[in-house]
């Protein structure tokens, strides 16, 4: 009897509980699956290295940092798609190509990619077109107007100031002296620049045609000739897929998947830090901690590749407060290469160059370090936006050179000279009396041009440097002197043209160079490799202490080239950087008289 009562009780309990279980099961079944999109902002400037400031490295966006973030998104299985908001892009064409190549990797995944533009020019559209769909704001515009190259000439200004540029050049196309001695381009200069722009424009047409189904390169050219476009015109021309405000785009994503819980989120790494309380000591310490993040422990792994950055103009070693990251000097690169060369755990070296060149002597010192390292272990060069003149010089000794199709490279040539400031001095009421012993004693004086014998000596020096430049290029490229001399002459080439001429080996970016270095070092494809970055960037205070210890009796002076990074001068942009570099090479009594540099800024928009 008692057994029957227990059974009845359990049966009643089961009957009462069944609706609850059924309701919970029904509730679970009605919860829609989550479909997650990530909103990723892509814009501004991406550099190779962070800028050193007073307390540490700044928040400058780096190319490797961007790629690490994109790799994280690409391999995150919880993400169904990425909405790229593209705005205010400011970078060179080679950097654009490198980012486009990275974005193309998303096509190999099942992730949906959308490019959103409020407004867009050539650069913004090139990135957006790499996505599966391009969405433009209804009130926006698409400024596809083609490419132009601008070169600024200074002769008119120098004439007004009574300053004479007394300069010589080696190489038919070595047009470095023209901005200071002419009002416009020579025929050779125009020929070189036109050929350069022709190739870059052809690459632009191909990039757009490849990205937009049903549009050929010839049709893209016709469309560009009709630009710029209103939003509606861009849509009708099939350059964009939809006209929507950003909130409308997000709503479209949700309505397209009514059975799923569509969420648009920020990347996990974009977590806002709490602003320190600057009114307290603890807040100040927190700020210093944020500006000086703890250094990562040095890797003790055996499998390492050294990544050495050479970014900026190449200048001689100058006594200075601390090395600027935007200047390349032999002492800094020598230290980096010696470490990579003597460290047995480093199996290969990748040299990343983004430089228009500079001092011929400094370039040769760096070339020597590359050569010595190449004899010990593989050295692979990765060229950024520009690796021309001295920038190509320091690459020549590497075993393999990698460039983007749009990298500006070559410019194997030499020029030199000085500024004759006599007219300017007299204009402002200054005069000089010079007493000289020696036929060429006034060679470096800024109070007169070259005498006939001085000009003869400078020209001979330049011919020697040019011959040495061509000879070393021929040796590094396994070609004859005449073969290199024919394509040298100071002419600038795109990376695509340079590969056809044998000046570079492969087309690609930094990741391509790292992959080649890994293979040449004997690593297997699936073998894990550690990357060490050189030269090490140091905060201001650390560098100041090192300087004080090294030279306690010396006076601390701020050299000319460091003023280029002063915030007050940022409004002048790259032109101020160029002027500072030029003065560093020619503006001193013992200034370098023979240089290998691309002295004008080629602005392609």
Instruction: Kindly list the catalytic residues.
Output: 389
DSSP string of 212-264, one letter each residue: STT--HHHHHHHHHH-SEEHHHHHHTTSSSEE--HHHHHHHHHHT-TTSEEEE
Question: Six-digit token pair at 225?
Answer: 């000739």
Tokens in use for 387?
């690796």
**Rounded Cα gap, residues 499 and 283, in angstroms:** 54
CA gap 101, 96 in Å, rounded: 9
Query: Residue 487: which H helix or E strand, with range?
Result: helix 481-487
Give the H/E segment covering residue 150: strand 149-150
Could you give the CA distance from residue 585 to residue 565 in angstroms, rounded to a whole number? 18
CA-CA distances (angstroms) from residue 380 to 270, 352, 474? 34, 9, 18
Residue for token pair 């297997």: 524
CB 321 within 8 A of CB 547: yes
Instruction: Please give the sequence-ordered ranges of beta strands (E in DSSP) within 338-478, or none if there are none.
Output: 346-355, 357-359, 379-388, 400-403, 408-410, 414-420
Bridge partners, 134 (sequence order): 115
Please tell me the distance from the alpha carbon of residue 596 to that of residue 68, in angstroms, as a whole number. 35
Q: Which residues contact 449 (CB under 8 A, 6 or more apart)?
A: 164, 166, 420
**CA distances, 128 to each of 21, 83, 120, 240 (Å):** 50, 10, 9, 9
Q: Which two tokens stand for residue 346?
A: 């480093």
For 2-36, b where at least 16 C-beta lie within 10 A, e where not — what string?
eeeeeeeeeeeeeeeeeeeeeeeeeeeeeeeeebe
Tokens representing 528 are 């894990």
The tokens for 357 are: 């060149």
Cα separation values, 203 from 24, 188, 212, Å: 60, 23, 14
Q: How many CA atoms lie within 13 A of 484 on its CB side?
A: 25
In 360-445, DSSP assigns E strands to 379-388, 400-403, 408-410, 414-420
């Amino acid at each position: 009897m008692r057994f029957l009562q227990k059974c009845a009780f359990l049966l009643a309990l089961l009957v009462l509980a069944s609706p609850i279980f059924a309701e919970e099961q029904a509730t679970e079944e009605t919860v829609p699956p989550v479909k997650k999109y990530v909103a990723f902002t892509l814009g501004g400037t991406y550099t190779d290295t962070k800028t050193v400031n007073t307390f540490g490295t700044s928040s400058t966006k780096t190319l490797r940092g961007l790629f690490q973030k994109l790799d994280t998104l690409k391999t995150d299985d919880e993400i169904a798609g990425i909405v790229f908001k593209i705005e205010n892009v400011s970078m060179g064409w080679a950097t654009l190509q490198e980012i486009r190549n990275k974005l193309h990797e998303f096509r190999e995944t099942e992730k949906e990619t959308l490019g959103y533009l409020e407004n867009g020019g050539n650069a913004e559209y090139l990135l957006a077109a790499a996505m599966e769909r391009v969405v433009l704001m209804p009130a926006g515009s698409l400024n596809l107007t083609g490419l132009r190259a601008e070169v600024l000439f200074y002769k008119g200004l120098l004439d007004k100031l009574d300053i004479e540029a007394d300069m010589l050049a080696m190489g038919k196309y070595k047009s470095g002296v023209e901005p200071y001695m002419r009002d416009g381009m020579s025929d050779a200069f125009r020929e070189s620049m036109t050929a350069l722009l022709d190739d870059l424009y052809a690459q632009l047409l191909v990039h757009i045609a490849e990205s937009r189904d049903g549009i050929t390169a010839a049709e893209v050219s016709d469309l560009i000739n009709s630009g710029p476009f209103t939003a509606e015109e861009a849509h009708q021309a099939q350059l964009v897929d939809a006209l929507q405000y950003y909130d409308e785009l997000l709503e479209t994503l949700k309505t397209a998947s009514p059975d799923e819980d569509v969420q648009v989120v920020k990347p996990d790494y974009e977590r806002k830090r709490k602003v320190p309380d600057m009114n307290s000591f603890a807040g100040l310490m927190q700020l210093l901690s944020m500006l000086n993040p703890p250094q990562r422990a040095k890797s003790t792994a055996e499998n390492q590749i050294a990544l050495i950055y050479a970014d900026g103009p190449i200048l001689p070693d100058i006594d200075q407060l601390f090395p600027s990251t935007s200047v390349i000097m032999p002492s800094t690169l020598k230290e980096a290469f010696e470490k990579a060369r003597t460290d047995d755990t480093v199996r290969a070296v990748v040299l990343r160059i983004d430089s228009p060149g500079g001092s011929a002597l400094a370039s040769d010192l760096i070339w020597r370090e590359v050569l010595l390292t190449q004899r010990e272990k593989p050295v692979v060069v990765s060229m950024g936006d520009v690796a021309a003149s001295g920038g190509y010089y320091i690459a020549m000794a590497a075993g393999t050179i990698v460039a983007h199709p749009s990298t500006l490279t070559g410019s194997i040539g030499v020029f030199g000279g000085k500024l004759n400031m006599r007219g300017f001095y007299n204009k402002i009421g200054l005069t000089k009396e010079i007493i000289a012993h020696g036929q060429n004693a006034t060679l470096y004086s800024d109070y007169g041009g070259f005498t006939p014998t001085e000009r003869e000596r400078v020209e001979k020096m330049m011919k020697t440097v040019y011959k040495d430049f061509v000879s070393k290029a021929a040796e590094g490229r396994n070609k004859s002197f005449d073969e290199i001399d024919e394509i040298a002459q100071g002419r600038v080439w795109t990376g695509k043209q340079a590969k056809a001429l044998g000046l570079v080996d492969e087309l690609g970016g930094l990741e391509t160079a790292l992959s080649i270095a890994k293979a040449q070092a004997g690593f297997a494809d699936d073998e894990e490799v550690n990357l060490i970055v050189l030269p090490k960037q140091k905060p201001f205070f650390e560098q100041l202490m090192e300087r004080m210890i090294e030279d306690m009796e010396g006076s601390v002076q701020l050299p000319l080239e460091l003023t280029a990074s002063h915030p007050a001068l940022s409004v002048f942009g790259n032109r101020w950087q160029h002027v500072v570099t030029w003065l560093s090479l020619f503006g001193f009594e013992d200034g370098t008289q023979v240089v290998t540099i691309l002295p004008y800024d080629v602005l392609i928009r």
